[in-house]
Amino acid sequence: MINIDYLQCNKMLAAITLMSIGVFSASADLPGGDFSWKVTEGHSYPGLSGVWIYDRYSCLVTCYYMKDCYVVDYDIFSNPPCWIQTNKFTPNKSYLVSVPDVTDYILLNVGDKIKDNNCWVITPKMHIPGLKQVEYNTVASCTDYCLKLKDCFVVDFDTMSKPKCWVQTSSKIIPDVKNLKSMDSATNFMLNPKCKA
Ligand SMILES: *[C@@H]1O[C@H](CO)[C@@H](O)[C@H](O)[C@H]1NC(C)=O
């Protein structure tokens, strides 16, 4: 009995380790669905901006919900590993350059993105003071929590805090990009009130 438990525990730990280093990332669900992204291993798209996000899914979610972002590079050896399009251009895969260990993602289902992305306005390297820290550590779980929370229209995802998720709990906080303050480790998300069911 003890031996079996020990073995299963080891298998679980191995799976978690592999997932956290991104070995399963190619088959993992991608925001908008796996068929929404053209995935090119070993290639990088020049001219993207680094954002302080340290998991692949959150990196893709951030671009997916961000206006005019269609390209992501995930580079496990750079700090941060997450690189996203912040200038307006139409991606062209002939601009990809070969770079070992970088995975490039180009969004194909632009229509789906546009349907979904009116909900959150995303501003990297900014935050709103006065939010409440809650027990979530991925962008998706953090923004979903806010979506269901009464009076929540602002989220900060701060990769340097533990946990990383900060949500609005007070109606005294005005969700306006004018109130954003600079913070390198944070990404701010503001919810369109129409998306609150
Ligand atoms: C992509 O770039 C190549 C090389 O610059 C160019 O020949 C091609 O027309 C571009 N494709 C699109 C769809 O813009």
Residue nearest to atom 2 of ligand 1 (CA): 94
Distance 114 CA to ligand 1 centre (A): 23
Ligand 1 atom closest to Cα of residue 92: 1
Q: Which residues pair with 188 in a beta bridge?
A: 123, 156
Tokens of 63: 């671009």
pLDDT at 52: 84
pLDDT for the residue numbered 18:
34
Bond into 80 cis (ω within 30): yes
CA pair distance 188, 121, nearest whole angstrom: 8
The C-alpha torsion from 160 through 50 and 56 to 10, rounded to 10°, is -50
* Model pLDDT, residue 5: 33
Question: Are the CB atoms for 55 and 140 separated by under 8 Å?
Answer: no
Q: How far is the CA of 189 from the centre of ligand 1 (A)?
A: 33
User: pLDDT digit of tens for each residue in the chain (197 aa)?
Assistant: 233 333 333 333 333 333 333 333 333 467 777 778 999 999 999 999 998 888 888 898 888 878 789 999 999 999 999 999 988 899 999 999 999 999 999 998 777 676 666 678 888 889 999 999 999 988 878 988 998 898 999 999 998 999 999 999 999 999 888 899 999 889 899 998 877 76
Alpha-carbon gap, residue 134 to 150, rounded angstroms: 15
DSSP code string of 110-176: HHHHHHHTTSEEEEEEEE-TTPEEES--SHHHHHHHHHHSTT--EEEEETTSSS-EEE---TTS---
Q: How far apart are CA 188 and CA 125, in angstroms?
A: 7
Query: Is-contact 164 170, C-beta < 8 A?
Result: no
What the chain holds in terms of domains, given with CATH numbers, is: 28-114 (3.50.4.10), 118-195 (3.50.4.10)
Q: How far is the CA of 97 from the centre of ligand 1 (A)?
A: 14
Q: What pLDDT does residue 112 have?
A: 66
